Amino acid sequence: MLSKEQILAALSHVNDPELHRSLTDLKMVRDIQISGGSVEVTIALTVPNCPLKAQIEADVRAAISGLPGVEAVHVKMTAMTEEERQAIFGKPKEGAAAAYNHVQRVIAVMSGKGGVGKSLVTGLLATALAQQGYKVGVLDADITGPSIPTLFGLHGPLEPGPVGIRPVESALGIKVMSMNFLLEREDQPVIWRGPLIGSAITQLWGDVYWGDLDYLLVDLPPGTSDASLTTLQSLPVNGIIMVTTPQSLASMVVRKAVHMAQAVNTPIIGVVENMAYFTCPETGKRHDIFGASHSAEVAQAAAAPILVQLPIDPQVAAMCDAGKIEAVSLAETPALLNAFLEVVPVTK
Amino acid sequence: MLSKEQILAALSHVNDPELHRSLTDLKMVRDIQISGGSVEVTIALTVPNCPLKAQIEADVRAAISGLPGVEAVHVKMTAMTEEERQAIFGKPKEGAAAAYNHVQRVIAVMSGKGGVGKSLVTGLLATALAQQGYKVGVLDADITGPSIPTLFGLHGPLEPGPVGIRPVESALGIKVMSMNFLLEREDQPVIWRGPLIGSAITQLWGDVYWGDLDYLLVDLPPGTSDASLTTLQSLPVNGIIMVTTPQSLASMVVRKAVHMAQAVNTPIIGVVENMAYFTCPETGKRHDIFGASHSAEVAQAAAAPILVQLPIDPQVAAMCDAGKIEAVSLAETPALLNAFLEVVPVTK
């Protein structure tokens, strides 16, 4: 005869795939009905719209089916109430999600200068990493001028996770979080002074359920004020990619960011030169439309290699506008990916 | 016989050309020696390196030469001590210069988005206005990523004015003030949180001796945080020029700035689209390298006209890098100037 104890014992070996704790430990197993060889079990998900519902159901079915004498398994799903969730995870408090976030490498994409393509570099690199099977997140730290949601074609509303808010997932499974997901309209301004900007960034880290990631790329806004300072001081940033454009003017401002990174002791792992040139589609000739490159000055100040030079490509601009950065195929991306993986490798 | 009283009476009609008060009222006349028809007078300048020294000397000479019996005039120059200056102007206090600043129109150049060419538009417009004989100032409100000093090829150190700091003057006589004039090295970072950024901007207005200006253009940094908020709330801004680029992504972020301007009730006087296209120097063909224009969306949200579309021009980029924006001759500048003068005219 099958017993409830046998079923519970079997389920004690099934883990919640996000939380890495067993279903019995998380008090997710609610009701067990045994009738001959037929078992009906009710599982309470931590949140109603758990995206891993199907996987949990399959794991439960497999664990119970393996018991001797089981002929049929019925899995019913329900969701925990707020009180039940709090009994397990505690009252939601600021930064609580951080304890559940296991990120191998946090890399900030920085520039100091605006409009040089920080978000483009972040998006291209995140895409290339995801295509190689890495688990990737993108934290958009540009609170007042976010570009990331547009590039990936993503929007809110946000769903709660077991702890904290769940990031929005892109087509390739990149976990993305941006202030713009919290706004009613994408062109609504966020008229906040620095202290609020700083605390918004710490919340996008500590109140968001990032889970297990190989790489979290943090897309910084221009400037060396609150957003950059809070990111480099409050987030566990392992390294910085510095983005620049050929102009000497850009190089001067980007070197300010380089010196800031050095002042707060965060290593710069490499420099990306964006908008390096434009190839005329008719003549095939390369035009240095922003003049001769001064990126070497940035690389020298940063004591870091130039990882890649990216061209201006009207097609890329159009795809970014259309939210299709994951479909951009740029000849230079593999070079960027390889150079990046060489300087910040992780174990998949 | 000539008397000291006659000389003083004559000098009471000579005004300091910056302060618009007479030399006697300002206690600048120090020593008068009369020997027959020869007069020697010592003038104490309010500050040692007064750029108007020669004009004051000429005015003094003319006033005394006009007296009957005067055969020769010798003008000696000295400078007031800090104590003497304080006896006239009071102890230097924050914002004291503002009372001496007479600016007909304060226009902010804004975008929300970085790297769209706010500084370029500011520089081109300031140049065109100065060439038309307007008295122009440029306040660089981008504290952490200033571009204005590079464009105009200007640098510190700064000189004191009679009240407050004296702006640096460009070749065309444009009065320029930037945080970078206060730094030892141009690529030194300013790692300040928002409240300091805000107070730096109010100081660039209230502690700088701008004097008489027809137009003061304020070059804002990206974002809708401290710099923009302080500028629009604490400076007497009459209107905003919104700068955008063709991309839809830029349009979305710029519309945030539009909505911010509307929230703080500052009128938007026009929109400038920068980087609108690139004309291939070989084929003469126009390439919309940042895709089709979405600037109409910005103009519509702003309920303001598009003043001009500016192309990407490698020569302009090179001249900006070389500090020669005042020598840039762009076919589109007259259109920008005329559209601007139509919406914000002043009496010269």
pLDDT in tens, B100-112: 899 999 999 999 9
Name the one residue in this structure whose structure tokens are 């925990």.
A80
| Coarse DSSP helix, strand, coil percentages of chain A, rounded to the nearest 5 percent | 35, 25, 40
| Coarse DSSP helix, strand, coil percentages of chain B, rounded to the nearest 5 percent | 35, 25, 40
In chain B, residues with a C-beta closer than 8 Å to the C-beta of A312 are: 289-290
Structure tokens at A338: 């390889």
Strand B239-244 and strand B102-110: the pairing is: parallel
Q: Whole-angstrom Cα distance, residue A320 to residue A339?
A: 23
**Which pLDDT tens digit goes with each residue over A4-47?**
999 999 999 999 988 889 999 999 999 999 999 999 999 999 98
In chain A, residues with a C-beta closer than 8 Å to the C-beta of B282 are: 280, 283, 285
In the three-class reduction of DSSP (H, G, I as helix; E, B as strand; rest coil), residue B71 is classed as coil
Burial of A57 (0-12, 13-18, 19+ CB in 10 A): middle
| Mean pLDDT across B323-345 | 96
Work out the number of other CB atoms within 10 angstroms of the CB of residue A158. Answer: 15
**Where in the sequence of chain B do the CATH 3.40.50.300 domains occur?**
96-343
Nearest by CB to B194, from A225, A248, A291: name it: A225
Nearest to B250 by CA among B221, B220, B222, B219: B222
Helices B248-263, B226-234: axis angle to 10 degrees equals 40
Q: Is the peptide bond before B157 cis (omega within 30 degrees of 0)?
A: yes
Query: For residue B69, how many C-alpha atoms fall within 13 Å in the half-sphere facing its CB?
Result: 10
* Chain A interface mutation, best of B151, B154, B249, B315, highest count of A Cβ atoms under 10 Å: B249
Interface touch B194/A226, C-beta < 8 Å: yes
In chain A, residues with a C-beta closer than 8 Å to the C-beta of B248 are: 150, 321
More confident residue, A48 or A4: A4
**Which pLDDT tens digit goes with each residue over A80-100?**
988 898 888 887 777 888 888
In chain A, residues with a C-beta closer than 8 Å to the C-beta of B291 are: 314, 317-318, 321
Q: Whole-angstrom Cα distance, residue B176 to residue B111?
A: 20
Min Cα–Cα distance to chain A from B270, Å: 19
Helices B295-302, B248-263: axis angle to 10 degrees equals 10
Say yes or no to pLDDT of B140 above 90: yes
Say yes or no to pLDDT of B71 above 80: yes
Kindly report which listed range (A91-105, A128-142, A277-291) carries the lowest average pLDDT score.
Answer: A91-105
Kindly report which listed range (B80-89, B121-130, B255-264) carries the lowest average pLDDT score.
Answer: B80-89
Label residue A177 left, alpha or beta by phi (over 0 means left) and psi (-120 to 50 means alpha): beta
Class of domain A96-343: alpha beta
Label residue A163 left, alpha or beta by phi (over 0 means left) and psi (-120 to 50 means alpha): beta
Residue A140's DSSP bridge partners are: A178, A219
**Where in the sequence of chain B do the CATH 3.30.300.130 domains occur?**
4-89
**Which pLDDT tens digit goes with each residue over A209-240?**
999 999 999 999 999 999 999 999 999 999 99
Task: Please check whether the domain covering A4-89 is classified as CATH 3.40.50.2300.
Answer: no
Q: Whole-angstrom Cα distance, residue A155 to residue A182?
A: 9
Give the global pTM: 0.90
Assembly ipTM: 0.89
